[in-house]
Amino acid sequence: MDEQTSASAGLLHNASRVVADPQHLPPLLCFSHLRWNFVYQRPQHLMTRAAQGRRVIFWEEPVRAQPGEDAPRLALNGVDGGVTVATPVLPPDYSEQEIEAAQRLMLNRLMQVQRLQDAVLWFYTPAALGFAGDLCPRHTVIYDCMDELSAFLGADPALPQRERKLLNRADIVFTGGFSLYEAKRHQHHNVHPFPSGVDLAHFRPARQRLPDPSDQRDIPRPRLGFYGVIDERLDISLVAEIAAARPDWQVVLVGPVVKIDPASLPQAANIHYLGGKQYRDLPAYLANWDVALMPFARNDATRFISPTKTPEYLAGGKPVVSTLIPDVVRHYGQAKGVRIAASAADFVSGIDEMLQLSQEPNAWLPATDEMLAASGWNSIWDRMAALIVKAAAQREGSAPALERSHWA
């Protein structure tokens, strides 16, 4: 059962009941712009694997307190996978300066109560430097740059400046793909590309007959599916063109609508918006599609993305049609189960080809499985862990010690 402790005015009480006793491995304190319970993706995959050998605390962005709720306080909740999620709860009238000051106080207290003096600091967002930056000189610092956040709709204009500071303080930098690696490799001395991976055991069951989810059951076939956040990265005009070109095809979009007006989304009898779903339910949706879609727009927000869904779709046995996303072209452009489309007409033609290929799994899945074998999250974490140990040893001035048992 999840436990929760809070701290009036930023002080924690009984927090040691929430996080397990310290282990021989250094704890990991992760600062993320994504909420743990929003969409299960790269941070969750990596932090749950890290938590198999150490304490992991996942610090997410603050939430505003409800009327009558005790605030400011830091809520600590254990989640599946052994991670503790730390959520600052702040009064709704706090200014940006007060938000940072309150988080700094909470963080300093957390470091003391949870005995995090040797913790590794893992940043997903440079924005966290506003309250956590003072800790960096005394700790090993990792910057896992999974996206170019400054290019996203509504991004804080201060992000580029804070990223420069984070790059100056980081001991090691990981990037969520090769396009990001090429953009960051000259900005830091220790940058390593780690395109997002796939949980093969989670998605491979989609190759079998899984029960069709109730909200999808009555949708006719063939079904063309997409799951993910529906935001400025999705080419909604392309979705409309596909649906209009082939009214007999059913376009199924699974995911929350974020940062864009839902009224702007194309509407048609063969376009179906099913809303956000739990990660555990995605294989059932995928299993009952015929072709998977990645109709991403070509804009600043997609310039550096390396979509996790490419290997997930393939692991689930579905051929894929994608727009010209550089990292998709780089890694999957030659795969038999992937078509890259430069226009709406190309996209429709690619879907026709992939519908045919979906009837011939033995013609493409064996080669796909060979390609995916090195893309598992366990393998990615093992390689990251070894690099972190080396970076920590170099920070301490000792000889590199790459024993995987220390981290993996």
Please give the pLDDT value at position 39. 87
Q: What is the CA radius of gyration of the chain?
A: 22
Burial of 209 (0-12, 13-18, 19+ CB in 10 A): exposed
What does the mean pLDDT of the chain come to? 89
**How far apart, in Å, are the Cα atoms of 100 and each of 13, 74, 90, 120, 133?**
21, 13, 11, 21, 11
Identical fold between 8-197+377-406 and 200-372 = yes
**Rounded Cα distance, 266 and 288, in Å:** 23
The answer to whether the beta carbons of residues 303 and 324 sit under 8 Å apart is: no
Q: Is 12 exposed, middle or buried (0-12, 13-18, 19+ CB in 10 A)?
A: buried
Strands of 125-227 (E only): list them.
141-145, 172-175, 191-193, 223-227
DSSP letter assigned to residue 41: -
CATH superfamily of 200-372: Glycogen Phosphorylase B; (3.40.50.2000)
What does the pLDDT read at residue 23? Answer: 47
pLDDT for the residue 302: 86
Note whether 348 and 245 are within 8 A (CB).
yes
Residue 400's pLDDT is 43
Predicted local confidence at residue 81, as pLDDT: 87
- Each domain of the chain, given as residue ranges in start order, spans 8-197+377-406, 200-372
| 181 in Cβ contact with 152 (< 8 Å) | no
Output the pLDDT for position 306: 86
Contact (CB, 8 A) for 64 and 38 = no
CATH superfamily of 8-197+377-406: Glycogen Phosphorylase B; (3.40.50.2000)
Q: What gap in Å lies between CA 305 and CA 338, rounded to an integer?
A: 17
**pLDDT score, position 151:** 61
Report pLDDT for 152. 67
Sites in the chain below the pLDDT cut of 70: 1-24, 149-155, 398-408
